[in-house]
Amino acid sequence: MDHISYDMFRRTCPSHTVLELLSNKWAYLAVMALKRGRHRYSEMQRRLEGVSPKMLTQTLRALERDGLVLREVYPVVPPRVEYELTPLGEELAALMSSLRDWGEAHVPDILAARARFEAEKAASAT
């Protein structure tokens, strides 16, 4: 397999596709929800508070397109559709778990920094 060199700082770099995926909060939340196992669409909608049906559909389609999610349709009435992570999606979920862990560990630091920033900004405005 040929090694391809990417430069993520170039606007035309193909790696931006991955960056767009990683920066999409609904994609992140969908992957993390599916990390716990197979889910039906309605379960995903309940789990991801605030996501619109249109956005959830778009997100799941994009994850399926990118090979991260497997969509299985059961031939029953009414139709039943379930989603699960592919091996590639499971690998991404592991990375995202690390990011979640970091975020949860540092939320107090970030909130404190925001409060200091706003206090300094307010003090300098007076």
35-65 pLDDT tens trace: 999 999 999 999 999 999 999 999 999 999 9
Q: How many domains does the chain have?
A: 1
Query: Is the pLDDT assigned to residue 75 strictly greater than 60?
Result: yes
The answer to whether residue 4 is domain-embedded is no
The answer to whether residue 103 is domain-embedded is yes
The amino acid at 88: L
Confidence of residue 2 (pLDDT cuts 50, 70, 90): low
Q: At what angle do helices 25-34 and 87-125 cross, to 10 degrees?
A: 140
Containing structural domain, residue 42: 16-125
The answer to whether residue 84 is domain-embedded is yes
The answer to whether residue 6 is domain-embedded is no
The answer to whether residue 36 is domain-embedded is yes
Answer for the pair 19, 11: CB distance below 8 angstroms, yes or no: no
* CATH number of the domain encompassing residue 66: 1.10.10.10
The answer to whether residue 104 is domain-embedded is yes
**Per-residue pLDDT reduced to its tens digit, 20-32:** 888 899 999 999 9
The answer to whether residue 53 is domain-embedded is yes
Report pTM: 0.84
More confident residue, 125 or 25: 25
The answer to whether residue 10 is domain-embedded is no
